[in-house]
Amino acid sequence: MALAGITGWGLQGQKISDDDIHPNANLGLTKLGTRTIWINLMPTSAQLSGASCVKTQSNIFGGVVMPDANSSLLYFSFCVPSEMDLSQNCVIEIAWVCAPTSGAAEFFFSLTSQKSAGIVTQEVGGSIVSTAQGTTNRLNSATATGIPGASFAYGDIVGLNIYRIPSGGSDTLSADLKILGIAFKYAGRG
Protein backbone atom coordinates (compact mmCIF):
# COMPACT_ATOMS: atom_id res chain seq x y z
CA MET A 1 0.00 0.00 0.00
CA ALA A 2 1.32 3.43 -0.89
CA LEU A 3 1.07 6.49 1.27
CA ALA A 4 -2.42 7.90 1.29
CA GLY A 5 -2.99 11.36 -0.15
CA ILE A 6 0.62 11.63 -1.28
CA THR A 7 -0.06 14.73 -3.36
CA GLY A 8 -0.76 16.57 -0.16
CA TRP A 9 2.68 15.98 1.36
CA GLY A 10 4.26 18.93 -0.35
CA LEU A 11 2.49 21.26 2.02
CA GLN A 12 4.53 22.29 5.03
CA GLY A 13 2.58 21.59 8.20
CA GLN A 14 0.51 18.83 6.60
CA LYS A 15 -0.74 16.52 9.30
CA ILE A 16 0.10 12.83 9.21
CA SER A 17 -1.90 10.15 10.91
CA ASP A 18 -0.89 6.60 11.69
CA ASP A 19 -3.31 5.38 9.08
CA ASP A 20 -1.34 7.23 6.39
CA ILE A 21 1.83 5.23 6.88
CA HIS A 22 2.38 1.63 5.84
CA PRO A 23 4.92 -0.25 7.95
CA ASN A 24 8.37 0.13 6.38
CA ALA A 25 7.08 2.54 3.74
CA ASN A 26 9.71 4.61 1.90
CA LEU A 27 8.89 8.28 1.98
CA GLY A 28 9.81 10.61 -0.87
CA LEU A 29 10.19 14.26 0.04
CA THR A 30 9.33 17.23 -2.14
CA LYS A 31 11.44 20.34 -1.70
CA LEU A 32 9.59 23.22 -0.11
CA GLY A 33 10.02 26.96 0.04
CA THR A 34 12.32 29.25 -1.92
CA ARG A 35 15.87 30.49 -1.76
CA THR A 36 17.63 33.69 -2.70
CA ILE A 37 19.60 33.61 -5.93
CA TRP A 38 21.73 36.38 -7.42
CA ILE A 39 22.48 36.80 -11.11
CA ASN A 40 25.84 38.54 -11.29
CA LEU A 41 26.07 41.19 -14.00
CA MET A 42 29.68 42.33 -14.09
CA PRO A 43 29.83 45.95 -15.29
CA THR A 44 33.06 45.10 -17.10
CA SER A 45 31.05 42.71 -19.30
CA ALA A 46 28.37 45.26 -20.22
CA GLN A 47 27.91 47.21 -23.41
CA LEU A 48 28.99 50.73 -22.43
CA SER A 49 27.79 54.03 -23.85
CA GLY A 50 28.78 57.64 -23.11
CA ALA A 51 32.02 59.59 -23.17
CA SER A 52 34.53 58.46 -20.54
CA CYS A 53 32.34 55.52 -19.56
CA VAL A 54 35.16 52.98 -19.56
CA LYS A 55 36.39 49.92 -17.71
CA THR A 56 38.50 50.58 -14.64
CA GLN A 57 39.30 49.20 -11.21
CA SER A 58 39.05 50.30 -7.58
CA ASN A 59 41.66 48.57 -5.45
CA ILE A 60 41.17 44.93 -6.50
CA PHE A 61 37.58 45.30 -7.75
CA GLY A 62 36.88 45.57 -11.46
CA GLY A 63 34.38 48.21 -12.50
CA VAL A 64 33.23 50.93 -14.87
CA VAL A 65 33.50 54.73 -14.65
CA MET A 66 30.26 56.72 -14.73
CA PRO A 67 31.44 60.28 -15.32
CA ASP A 68 30.07 63.46 -13.82
CA ALA A 69 30.43 65.36 -17.11
CA ASN A 70 27.84 63.51 -19.16
CA SER A 71 25.33 60.69 -19.14
CA SER A 72 26.59 57.11 -19.17
CA LEU A 73 24.78 53.83 -19.80
CA LEU A 74 25.42 50.13 -19.16
CA TYR A 75 23.43 47.44 -21.01
CA PHE A 76 23.01 43.80 -19.96
CA SER A 77 21.01 40.84 -21.23
CA PHE A 78 20.08 37.61 -19.48
CA CYS A 79 17.38 34.94 -19.54
CA VAL A 80 14.66 34.40 -16.93
CA PRO A 81 15.54 31.12 -15.15
CA SER A 82 12.91 28.37 -15.18
CA GLU A 83 13.20 28.01 -11.41
CA MET A 84 12.30 31.64 -10.73
CA ASP A 85 9.25 32.19 -8.51
CA LEU A 86 7.31 34.74 -10.55
CA SER A 87 5.01 35.53 -7.65
CA GLN A 88 7.74 37.22 -5.66
CA ASN A 89 9.46 40.55 -6.11
CA CYS A 90 12.97 40.96 -7.49
CA VAL A 91 15.77 43.32 -6.49
CA ILE A 92 18.52 45.12 -8.39
CA GLU A 93 21.61 46.00 -6.36
CA ILE A 94 24.36 48.31 -7.56
CA ALA A 95 27.72 48.43 -5.76
CA TRP A 96 29.66 51.64 -6.33
CA VAL A 97 32.41 53.85 -4.91
CA CYS A 98 33.45 57.49 -5.26
CA ALA A 99 36.06 59.88 -3.91
CA PRO A 100 33.71 62.54 -2.45
CA THR A 101 32.30 62.04 1.02
CA SER A 102 29.12 64.00 0.42
CA GLY A 103 26.43 64.26 -2.22
CA ALA A 104 24.28 61.59 -3.80
CA ALA A 105 24.20 59.75 -7.10
CA GLU A 106 20.99 58.89 -8.90
CA PHE A 107 20.91 55.65 -10.86
CA PHE A 108 18.14 54.98 -13.34
CA PHE A 109 17.12 51.51 -14.48
CA SER A 110 14.94 50.17 -17.25
CA LEU A 111 13.93 46.51 -17.64
CA THR A 112 12.43 44.78 -20.66
CA SER A 113 11.34 41.15 -20.77
CA GLN A 114 10.20 39.46 -23.96
CA LYS A 115 10.37 36.17 -25.82
CA SER A 116 10.07 35.17 -29.46
CA ALA A 117 7.43 37.20 -31.32
CA GLY A 118 7.25 39.69 -28.47
CA ILE A 119 7.77 43.40 -28.87
CA VAL A 120 10.46 44.86 -26.62
CA THR A 121 8.94 47.49 -24.37
CA GLN A 122 9.81 48.60 -20.88
CA GLU A 123 8.30 46.44 -18.14
CA VAL A 124 9.71 48.22 -15.14
CA GLY A 125 11.68 51.42 -14.70
CA GLY A 126 12.69 53.76 -11.95
CA SER A 127 15.56 55.40 -10.17
CA ILE A 128 17.54 55.03 -6.96
CA VAL A 129 19.20 57.87 -5.08
CA SER A 130 22.23 56.65 -3.15
CA THR A 131 24.24 58.81 -0.76
CA ALA A 132 28.04 58.82 -0.73
CA GLN A 133 29.78 57.22 2.22
CA GLY A 134 31.49 59.42 4.77
CA THR A 135 34.88 57.94 3.87
CA THR A 136 36.47 58.07 0.43
CA ASN A 137 36.01 54.99 -1.75
CA ARG A 138 34.02 53.01 0.79
CA LEU A 139 31.55 50.61 -0.76
CA ASN A 140 28.08 51.98 -1.47
CA SER A 141 24.99 49.98 -2.28
CA ALA A 142 22.05 51.31 -4.27
CA THR A 143 19.08 48.97 -4.16
CA ALA A 144 15.86 48.91 -6.16
CA THR A 145 13.31 46.69 -4.45
CA GLY A 146 9.77 45.69 -5.28
CA ILE A 147 10.36 44.77 -8.91
CA PRO A 148 7.40 42.46 -9.58
CA GLY A 149 8.28 38.93 -10.62
CA ALA A 150 5.06 39.05 -12.63
CA SER A 151 6.88 41.36 -15.04
CA PHE A 152 8.76 38.33 -16.32
CA ALA A 153 8.02 34.94 -17.85
CA TYR A 154 10.17 31.81 -18.01
CA GLY A 155 12.56 31.88 -20.91
CA ASP A 156 12.16 35.59 -21.55
CA ILE A 157 15.17 37.57 -22.64
CA VAL A 158 15.63 40.41 -20.18
CA GLY A 159 17.30 43.65 -21.17
CA LEU A 160 18.60 45.78 -18.31
CA ASN A 161 19.85 49.30 -18.76
CA ILE A 162 21.52 51.04 -15.83
CA TYR A 163 22.32 54.68 -16.42
CA ARG A 164 23.34 57.89 -14.71
CA ILE A 165 22.25 61.40 -15.68
CA PRO A 166 24.54 63.61 -13.60
CA SER A 167 22.70 66.78 -14.67
CA GLY A 168 19.52 65.52 -12.99
CA GLY A 169 18.29 67.37 -9.93
CA SER A 170 18.71 64.44 -7.56
CA ASP A 171 22.30 63.71 -8.61
CA THR A 172 24.30 65.99 -6.36
CA LEU A 173 27.56 64.07 -6.52
CA SER A 174 30.03 66.39 -8.24
CA ALA A 175 32.47 63.74 -9.35
CA ASP A 176 32.91 60.60 -11.38
CA LEU A 177 31.90 57.38 -9.68
CA LYS A 178 32.82 53.76 -10.28
CA ILE A 179 30.25 51.00 -10.55
CA LEU A 180 31.86 47.81 -9.28
CA GLY A 181 29.04 45.31 -9.39
CA ILE A 182 25.42 44.84 -10.38
CA ALA A 183 23.29 41.90 -9.28
CA PHE A 184 19.71 40.86 -9.95
CA LYS A 185 18.08 38.99 -7.06
CA TYR A 186 15.14 36.62 -7.42
CA ALA A 187 13.45 33.90 -5.43
CA GLY A 188 14.22 30.43 -6.75
CA ARG A 189 12.66 27.14 -5.73
CA GLY A 190 13.89 25.68 -2.44
Partner 1 sequence: MSLRDTSGLGRTGFKFENIDFSDDAAIAMTKFGTRTLQLALDPSASYFSGTSVAISVDSNVTVLTLPDANDGLMYFTFKMPAEMVVSGSVTIDIYWKTTAITGDVYLESKICSATTGEATTVEDTQTTTSPAPTTSGQIKKSTITHSTSIMTQNDWIGLLITRYPANAADTLGADIKVLMVVFNYTGRA
Question: Please, what is the Cα angle at 30 between 26 and 33, to 5 degrees?
Answer: 150
Instruction: List the one residue out of 161, 152, 131, 159 whose CA is nearest residue 143.
Output: 131
Label the pairing between strands 122-131 and 104-114: antiparallel
| By CB under 8 A, residue 32 contacts partner 1 | yes
Question: Taken in order 147, 151, 155, 157, is the CA torsion positive or negative?
Answer: negative
Decide if 113 contacts 155 (C-beta within 8 A): no
**Residue of 7, 26, 116, 121 interacting with partner 1 (CB under 8 A):** 26
Q: Which of 39-48 are b and which e, b meaning 16 or more Cβ less than 10 Å from the residue's Cβ?
A: bebebbebeb
Decide if 143 contacts 109 (C-beta within 8 A): no
For partner 1, the closer of residues 165 and 189 by Cβ is: 189
- We find the least distance from the C-beta atom of residue 167 to partner 1, in angstroms, to be 26
| By CB under 8 A, residue 40 contacts partner 1 | yes
Residues whose CB is less than 8 angstroms from the CB of residue 23 and which lie 6 or more positions away in sequence, other chains included: none
> What track of x and - describes contact with partner 1 for positions 103 through 142 (by CB under 8 A)?
------------------------------x-x-xxxxx-
For partner 1, the closer of residues 51 and 54 by Cβ is: 54
For partner 1, the closer of residues 120 and 139 by Cβ is: 139
For partner 1, the closer of residues 53 and 95 by Cβ is: 95
In whole angstroms, what is the distance from residue 176 CA to residue 64 CA?
10
Binding residues for partner 1 restricted to 52-91, rule: CB under 8 A: 55-63
| By CB under 8 A, residue 169 contacts partner 1 | no
**70 DSSP assignment:** S
**Residue of 13, 116, 119, 146 interacting with partner 1 (CB under 8 A):** 13
| By CB under 8 A, residue 34 contacts partner 1 | no
| By CB under 8 A, residue 172 contacts partner 1 | no
> Which residues here bind partner 1, judged by CB under 8 A?
12-18, 20-21, 23-27, 29-32, 35-38, 40, 42-45, 55-63, 93, 95, 97, 133, 135, 137-141, 180-181, 183, 190
